[in-house]
Amino acid sequence: MVKFVGIAGSLRPNSYSQMALGLTCDRLRALGAEVELLDLREMDLPLCHGGKEYPDHPDVERLRQAFLEADGFVLVTPEYHGSVSGVLKNALDLMSFDQLDGKVAGMISILGGQSNSNALNHLRTLNG
């Protein structure tokens, strides 16, 4: 069975990014995929300091392991100031190419107001 992991880069209650991730993962499950949702609002992730070890933050290893074991991933972000959210960027910074390379990637950007795709383009660059 194909396995996906998904995260959304919004910490707000009733977040549109979280809703979009939920709908996307429901569709993946309907197509027969196994899906693990990681809710960054419930995880204790430190700010990335560039090191490899975060012994006081077991959720870093949980995040890394979930992405390592997945065949693909879904990233959803609100667009803040023309880019991805800081919380999503930090989660990605806590991982390495081992977790992201060679995977199927789905990326969704949520933006209120004028249509734009800066965050989506930045996600493509970050994961390219």
pLDDT tens column, 40-52: 999 999 999 999 9
DSSP letters, 24-75, are HHHHHHHTT-EEEE--TTTS--PPP-S-S--TT-HHHHHHHHHHHH-SEEEE
Angle at 61 between CA 59 and CA 64, to 5 degrees: 110
Mean pLDDT of 21-28: 98
Binned at pLDDT 50, 70 and 90, residue 88 comes out as: very high
The terminus-to-terminus CA distance of the chain in angstroms comes to 25
Query: Where is average pLDDT lowest: 47-51, 91-95, 114-118, 119-123?
Result: 114-118
What is the model's pLDDT at position 122?
A: 86
- Global pTM reads 0.93
Which domains does the chain possess?
Answer: 3-7+22-127 (3.40.50.360)
pLDDT greater than 90 at residue 126: no
